[in-house]
Structure 1
Amino acid sequence: MKSLISLIIFTLPGLLAYFWINLFGLTPTTKRDSSEVIAISALLWIPTVATILIIYQIMAGLSHVIHAPFDVWIIKKDWTMLSSTITDINKLTDNIWFLLYYVLLSLVISFLLAILVFTKGYPLLLGHINKVRKSRGVAPLSSQSTVWNEMFLNNQGQIVEYIKGDGTVSLTGCLIRVPRAHEPDKSIVLEAVDHWTNVMDYYDVPIDNTFIDTITGAVIKVYNTTGAEEAQQLYNERVNNGSIS
């Protein structure tokens, strides 16, 4: 039981923050091993737990100075003031109310910390890194950590043509589902394949980008969105007019 409590106290906040950051889309170029995850979680643990304990100290102080009829339920519990030792936290772990408070605040604070890192911290750090890279004559880093993220995880409808590595399969459609960066299988979902194949057969739409998987040889061509929409409109008009059966 003690080991479970220690796991909650000393690893949960940092791991939660790391989990949220990954869900927000800030993923590394490669999967991290366990030692790297532990190191990053330990760094994220510090601000998360510091915030949790500061809030706890404030609530503990209020519970000692505010009395009925001005108190509220949340400070009717016996809040123990903390000193600056780990021993105090270990003693509090025997209190189920403290554990519940700690877990709930870990969820909230780690989520807010991850938002701060994703929206403010990482862009600021990346900006300084790119300044140094430019001063050394090195190309700046992209805002996305992987080529896959840069191409497809932008929440924008894309008309693409998928070509299998050996050239035996070619499909054109609207890309509506893509995997995350580190999923082992890069499976995709295309919508309206027959429709977009017919559109591209009649019109020559410019290609903006071409993604090439250097391992499997698969190719994904990304058509110009404006050009694809114009071609679709012209195709639909010809179908409605009976020019195309």
Structure 2
Amino acid sequence: MENFLATVVFLLPGFLMYFWIQSFGVNPVVKHSSIELTAISALLWLPVTVATLTLLNLSILVINNIPVLELIWTLEDLQRLSGNLIFLLIFLSLSVLVSFVVSVFYTKYIFKFQLKVINKVRNWRGVADLSNTSSVWEEIFLKNDTMVVEIGKIDSEDKSQIGCIMKASRPFEPERHLVLEDVDFLLI
């Protein structure tokens, strides 16, 4: 049971942030293994948990009559309180909210700044800039631009369709698919 509580308290907030960041469109270049995902979650745990505990401690200081909760200043306090179901529910609820807010802030501001710094170092080294997206598939197909494409087999010229891309598969889906609209209108 202690391993489960440790996982919930020490890994879940970081995993939530990783999930939100990917949902907001910052995808890694390669699919991560479970060990890598655990390491990333452990690293992302720190900002989410610090912000969650800060919010929780401020709430406790403002509202003095919460008998179940107490101020948390050390990891031992956090581990001891993780056995309390009320604390666990409050902590997890706040972690979902905080991980969402921190992820929005990261994807909107910090990621762009991080990319600028990385590209300055790459330019200084004489290496090409990184793209704003992590793959060619995202660069071409996952933007909100209107794109008309022709899809057909390489060995056959007469069986092709022309249409406007409405949806494209995500970068890590095993097969790449495009959903076209206005195919009949644009069919030649």
Counterpart of 1:194 in structure 2 is 184
Kindly indicate whether residue 50 of structure 2 is the aligned counterpart of residue 61 of structure 1.
no
User: Is the contact between residue 122 and residue 129 of structure 2 (CA under 8 Å) also seen in structure 1?
Assistant: yes
Kindly indicate whether residue 105 of structure 2 is the aligned counterpart of residue 120 of structure 1.
no
Shift of 1:196: 0.4
Cα distance in structure 2, aligned partners of 1:47 and 1:157: 38
User: Is the contact between residue 59 and residue 79 of structure 1 (CA under 8 Å) also seen in structure 2?
Assistant: no
Shift of 1:157: 2.5
Per-residue CA shift, 1:134-159, capped at 9, x if unaligned?
12221111101100101011122221
Shift of 1:82: 2.3
Counterpart of 1:185 in structure 2 is 175
More RCO (CA 8 Å, sep 6+) = 2
Counterpart of 1:99 in structure 2 is 88
Shift of 1:191: 1.4
User: Counterpart of 1:78 in structure 2: which amino acid?
Assistant: V
Structure 2's unaligned 5+ residue stretches are none
Cα distance in structure 2, aligned partners of 1:33 and 1:94: 30
Residue identity over aligned pairs, in percent, reads 37
Paired residues in the alignment total 187
User: Is the contact between residue 63 and residue 78 of structure 1 (CA under 8 Å) also seen in structure 2?
Assistant: no
Cα distance in structure 1, aligned partners of 2:178 and 2:67: 53
Runs of 4+ in structure 1 deviating by more than 4 angstroms, as ranges, are none
Q: Secondary structure at the match of 1:180?
A: coil
Cα distance in structure 1, aligned partners of 2:12 and 2:106: 18
Shift of 1:122: 1.1
Cα distance in structure 2, aligned partners of 1:61 and 1:95: 19
TM-score, normalization by structure 1: 0.71
Per-residue CA shift, 1:182-235, capped at 9, x if unaligned?
11110111112121023xxxxxxxxxxxxxxxxxxxxxxxxxxxxxxxxxxxxx
Cα distance in structure 1, aligned partners of 2:14 and 2:8: 10
User: Counterpart of 2:172 in structure 1: which amino acid?
Assistant: H
Q: Secondary structure at the match of 2:6?
A: helix
Comparing 156-165 with 40-49, greater Cα deviation is found at 156-165
Counterpart of 2:16 in structure 1 is 16
1:36-55 mapped onto 2 (5 Å cutoff): 36-55=36-55
Kindly indicate whether residue 139 of structure 2 is the aligned counterpart of residue 150 of structure 1.
yes
Q: Secondary structure at the match of 1:142?
A: coil
CA radius of gyration, larger in: 1
TM-score, normalization by structure 2: 0.91
Kindly indicate whether residue 89 of structure 2 is the aligned counterpart of residue 137 of structure 1.
no
Counterpart of 1:72 in structure 2 is none
Structure 1's unaligned 5+ residue stretches are 65-74, 199-245
User: Counterpart of 2:33 in structure 1: which amino acid?
Assistant: D
User: Is the contact between residue 5 and residue 83 of structure 2 (CA under 8 Å) also seen in structure 1?
Assistant: no
User: Counterpart of 2:8 in structure 1: which amino acid?
Assistant: I
Q: Secondary structure at the match of 1:174?
A: strand
Shift of 1:76: 4.2
Cα distance in structure 2, aligned partners of 1:79 and 1:19: 28
Shift of 1:42: 1.4
| CA separation of 1:178 and 1:58: change in aligned 2, threshold 3 A | same
Cα distance in structure 2, aligned partners of 1:196 and 1:145: 31
Cα distance in structure 2, aligned partners of 1:103 and 1:192: 46
